[in-house]
Amino acid sequence: MEQILNLIKSRLERPSTAFSRLNATVAELGIDEIRTFLTDQTMDRWNRIKVLKIGRYTIEELLELKNGTAEMPDTETFKDILQFSLSNIQIISVESEGRTFEAYVKLIMLDPDGITIRGLSLGGNLTSCRAIHASIYNNREVYVTDLLNGTVKEYRSNFHYRRIEEVQGKVCHTFLLPRNAIVQEYNYECMNADVSNRAHPDRILISRGDDITEVAGQFLAQKYSLPRTSDWANLYLSLLPADKWCELELIKTDMVGESGNLRAIIIRSMQESEVLEVINAAIIKGDLNVFSEIGEAAVLTEGMTTEDYLRVNAEIITKKIDTYLKPLYDGHTYAQFLGMTNRVCLPAQARSVMGVLTVLKFLNSCFLVGDMGSGKTQMSLSAIFAILRRRMESGAPDGISVLITAPAITIPKWATSEIPKILGSQKIITTIINSTEDALRYVAKVKGYNPNTSERTPYKVPKGYIHFVLVSTDRMKLAANKFVLAAHWDHIKQVWRCPDCHQPLRCPKAKANESDLLATWSDGVESPIYPPSKEQMKTARKSKLIDVNNLPRNFVKRYTDHIRSFECSCHLKKTKKNKLKEKSKDEKVERKRHATLVRPALKSRGEDRNKPRWMIAEIFQRHLRNHFQVGIFDEIQQMKASDSGRGMSFHKIMWSCRKSLFLTGTLTNGTSSSIQSTLWRSDPQPLIDEGFNHKTSKEQWAKKYGVLESITYMDDKAAGVLGRSSNRVTERVIIKEKAGIAPQLVARHLLHKSIFLELADLNIPLVQLKEEPVIVPLDPEHQDAYRKFHDELEAVCKDLQPILKSKAWSQFNPATLNYASQPQREVEVNFYDDEGDLLRSVKAPKFPAEYLTATERRLIEDVKADLSENRGSIIFTHYTGIYGTNQRIQRILANEGVQAEILDVKTTSSLGRFEWLEKQREIGTKVLIMNQTLVQVGLDLLEYPSLNFWQLNDDINVVRQASRRAWRIGQPRECKVRYYVSADTQQMKQFQRLMSRRISALLVEGRIERSDRIAQYAQESASGLTRELASSLSAAELTETWKSAAERDMDMNLTIVSETDYKQSISEAFERLTAETKRLCGYVEKDEIDQVISFTAEETQSTKSHPSSLTSPQTKHLYGELDLFSFNYEIEIVKTKKRGSNEIISKEQIAFNF
């Protein structure tokens, strides 16, 4: 108490100024009066001391301020008042619109300059806290007043805060955090700094107590890719120079509460080289120990590449990985349900399924990446079956709903072939959504809408059933056939008006500074060119044929492409129901674009000939949120684009699924941005934590996780020519992404939720696959005509390039490629300028229709040879439609007595291709002609082991996938893939480009190393050196290099057998491997159980008397001869029970790893 009185003595002041020179004496007398009152409370003494001022308030005022009453206190209450008079209570107040807002200060975080506020914690009512937050962005000066002594301190705002608030009753706790203390904000600033080549911002770290050293160490480890072990990370902060970090001053009031032990530091921006220099110095000095206590040290010698280091130290690295990294699933345990499916998984597939189940247990999405033919459909459906059985054992009263999205060509295969064969058809419900009506009917069924009654009976999947809902990726993206403008036409003012507020609309093409530019007729309507006249309007009104947009019915023939950009701000006005959220000035206010001024065209109004439709994905998103337990998304690589219709519909339909399983054979195309949108849609939070958002560009993404190439074009003639009013030299810089993915991308966003499976892991034999480039020289007359046409067209393209830019070359490849393969067709290339005037024309000589090129003769010869061996053949084309390539091949084959059928978009719909192919198989069609893109995914063409690429697609992924349609598990015939190329033509250069891209893809996939001989042909850039290198290859060299690349494209560990041995090998392999899966799962067939139960009583008694009878021939194959439990293993048996019941349902199976 004496300590408190001594502090009060310094604050005592007599109210009367007459005693100003006797402050010390008065203070001493006041303290004596207080001491006396503490021992003897009388009203007389209270009247003498209550006027004493302690700081800003008298004792009586302090009593009223704290307790709300001025009555004489008792001893304990008086002690509390004295203690309260010494409290550190600070308030911050602001004035706005004639009102004063006050809040209590809990904590102030100051910059090293002692004036600038880095962070601020407040407490008060919600209105005051938000008003103060807004004021800090409006005014540089911030004034804080000590409530008890009245002192005022001035601080400064840096306008860089993020408001975090929590409301408890009537009290709002607000923390204005420094933006650079928030992970997402800091990473976002760093990303923007990288794009603009600026230094990264300083980082502020906040932690409780002594944890600040550990937090700083982990930040430095993550930021500069340093080791994260605690013995190193806890030392990083102390190793930094004093000018690279400092602790921030925290002014804490008595209201700070739980935040009283906070500490904050600021780490200055540093280059990676600076940090590494500090670390190297610490290692040399011995402050950081580089010697591991576990295992031997790795070998690193001068001149080692990364590949050399990994190869030499593979065993050491493996041991350390096993020590420090524990997998979620170790591959030793299997669910019993995996042995119960109609078609049982192979052991490698079962391990992948268990991996999928483990990932989905902790996360909402999982990537299943497998080679073509590895059984991704089998694994995904087996995982669904396991989820169902686990749900049944948990006592759930219903089954599960599963969404499957896949390319349209594979939907019938999923529904009629894969699902019944893998799971059986007894407890399976399958629904295919083909249209908007189908989607609405399913929604009505789920919601329980009944048009005949008002009662709703929501649909539930029956217990033990799986309800599969299949939607094709091509159908789910389809929105309305066309849109019409819903704005009203003002024929008097000749402007478009909003149908809600009737205000004139702004021109959709107007710039930001052209706010007064209004939308006219041509902004919304393309045909007719002119709006209706007064006579037409008068006639329409008299006939009552005025549409809702104030135009004569069916007057508009075609709207412009800008109608979806029409918008009105009337819907943004504040209302009682929907108030715009207030945002601070430093936050970019983004207004969402509403398409309220367009609507789908209606058949009932004569605006469209087709019935209305809407996007299936959006219907599911809006009405079936989290309806499906699992969503299976097949061929996810086709939905990777952020701005495509498939990508947007994929984003929407995912909202209807609780868990997502992505199937793909090509997770990326080699560039980091190819996985960006998929990662964002599957799990955006980790990306948000790193500073990314939905507007992050490919360049920003590749800056961190990929490889960017910057090309600066400078004109030699312009060297030394400067700007008119400055010294700036104009340069053209192009930034583009190259193939390459940072290991951090895989480690942070893929490895923990991806299952990888290669074809060789299945241990299933395959027949031989042979790829052969067929390079055929043209006939002399054809070669002369082609060379003349090629050279003339190339010269014209070069001449017109300065005028037409890249458009000058748009027809070069199609014209030259098709003239090399089809000179019987008239080829004429015309060049037009932007106004439609003809500039130049190049025409090639036309050959007779009956003329067969050398390549056509070779194709006929090969097809006949295949037919003589009873081998089916498919001929892949690319340029169809107006080129008539399919019809030409069908005709020349028919002339040679070979009947062939054509599959194209006119033959059948995408959904009907599977049935069409099945029909051709049944009737025995041996030769098919089709565009390779129609069957690049999802189909097994086992009846056609010979694939002939008559023309090539420039996308190497399409070529690779189409070439594997026949070479799959179950193919008994040797597979041949032929690529027909006309020598010394543009086809030769196209084939060289594809070979280069294939080798690049193999490098990215890790199938070949940089040291490999063929790696020199990888197309890593469009440099002239690469082009010259490819052009220098002869036909023989090109053929040999392609064959080498094809060999690398197959796993070297695959088991290859001959045609004669294949049937027996595949049968034995499946029998052995499926039995192994059942053994690992602990599943015993029912007939085997019945066999054991059917023992006679004598046999049973004999078994009791002679335990050795368990090894009898009847039971030996069931139990074996090993006593597994005699091994010294710790075995944990987990019991599963029903909810609310003690009844044990089953026990988890145990797999023994020997």
- Per-10-residue mean pLDDT for the chain, 1154 residues long? 66 48 60 75 80 77 77 80 80 85 92 92 91 87 85 89 90 92 88 84 87 91 88 91 92 82 91 92 87 74 84 87 81 88 92 95 93 90 95 92 93 91 87 94 90 81 94 90 89 90 86 80 91 91 88 89 81 43 42 65 82 90 95 90 86 94 86 89 89 86 84 56 49 73 87 90 90 94 95 92 86 93 92 87 93 95 95 93 91 94 84 86 93 82 93 88 88 93 92 86 76 72 40 75 85 84 88 89 65 45 45 44 42 45 46 42
Q: Residue 496 half-sphere exposure, CB side, CA atoms within 13 Å? A: 24
Q: What does the alpha-carbon distance between residue 263 and residue 249 come to, in Å, rounded to a whole number?
A: 9
Tell me whether domains 336-479+615-668+677-693 and 769-777+853-982 share a fold: yes
DSSP per-residue codes, 438-484: HHHHHHHHHHT--TT-S------PPTT-EEEEEEETTTTT---S-EE
Residue (of 698, 681, 680) closest to 690 by Cα position = 680
Q: What does the alpha-carbon distance between residue 416 and residue 709 come to, in Å, rounded to a whole number?
A: 48
> E strands along 239-393, which residues?
245-247, 249-252, 262-267, 365-370
1049 and 1003 Cβ atoms separated by less than 8 Å: no
| C-alpha gyration radius of the chain | 39
pLDDT value, residue 1120: 40
pLDDT value, residue 1051: 76
- Alpha-carbon distances of 809 from 445, 745, 1092, rounded to whole Å: 55, 37, 77
621 and 653 Cβ atoms separated by less than 8 Å: yes
pLDDT value, residue 876: 95
In this structure, is the dihedral angle defined by the CA atoms of residues 177, 181, 183 and 187, taken in order, positive or negative?
Answer: positive
617 and 652 Cβ atoms separated by less than 8 Å: yes
Residue (of 933, 1052, 1041, 951) closest to 996 by Cα position = 1041
Q: Do the strands 161-168 and 171-178 form a parallel or antiparallel pair, or are they unpaired?
A: antiparallel
Q: What does the alpha-carbon distance between residue 629 and residue 380 come to, in Å, rounded to a whole number?
A: 14
DSSP per-residue codes, 544-558: T-B-TTSSBTT---E
Q: What does the alpha-carbon distance between residue 982 and residue 858 come to, in Å, rounded to a whole number?
A: 11
In this structure, is the dihedral angle defined by the CA atoms of residues 571, 576, 577 and 578, taken in order, positive or negative?
Answer: positive
Q: What is the DSSP letter of 848?
A: P
DSSP per-residue codes, 115-126: SEEEEEEEEE-H
Q: What does the alpha-carbon distance between residue 295 and residue 720 come to, in Å, rounded to a whole number?
A: 62
Residue (of 841, 840, 837) closest to 827 by Cα position = 841
pLDDT value, residue 840: 92
- Dihedral (Cα; 355, 357, 362, 368), 10-degree rounding: 60
968 and 990 Cβ atoms separated by less than 8 Å: no
CATH of domain 769-777+853-982: 3.40.50.300
Grouping H, G, I as helix, E, B as strand and the rest as coil, residue 163 is: strand
- Alpha-carbon distances of 1067 from 758, 766, 1053, 1071, 1072, rounded to whole Å: 21, 12, 20, 6, 9
pLDDT value, residue 729: 53
Q: What does the alpha-carbon distance between residue 947 and residue 957 come to, in Å, rounded to a whole number?
A: 16
pLDDT digits (tens, 9 = 90+) for 833-871: 887 889 999 999 999 999 999 999 999 999 999 999 999
The CA-to-CA distance between both ends of the chain, in Å, stands at 75
69 and 80 Cβ atoms separated by less than 8 Å: no
404 and 470 Cβ atoms separated by less than 8 Å: yes
- Alpha-carbon distances of 516 from 32, 511, 571, 594, 730, rounded to whole Å: 79, 10, 19, 21, 35
Name the CATH superfamily, with its identifier, for domain 336-479+615-668+677-693: Tandem AAA-ATPase domain (3.40.50.10810)
- Alpha-carbon distances of 281 from 221, 232, 321, rounded to whole Å: 16, 14, 28
Q: What does the alpha-carbon distance between residue 210 and residue 222 come to, in Å, rounded to a whole number?
A: 20
Q: What does the alpha-carbon distance between residue 633 and residue 881 come to, in Å, rounded to a whole number?
A: 31
Q: What does the alpha-carbon distance between residue 179 and residue 194 come to, in Å, rounded to a whole number?
A: 18
pLDDT value, residue 14: 46
Q: Residue 155 half-sphere exposure, CB side, CA atoms within 13 Å? A: 24
> What are the sequence ranges of the domains in the chain?
2-85, 90-285, 336-479+615-668+677-693, 484-571+592-609, 769-777+853-982, 780-843, 1079-1147
pTM, two decimal places: 0.76
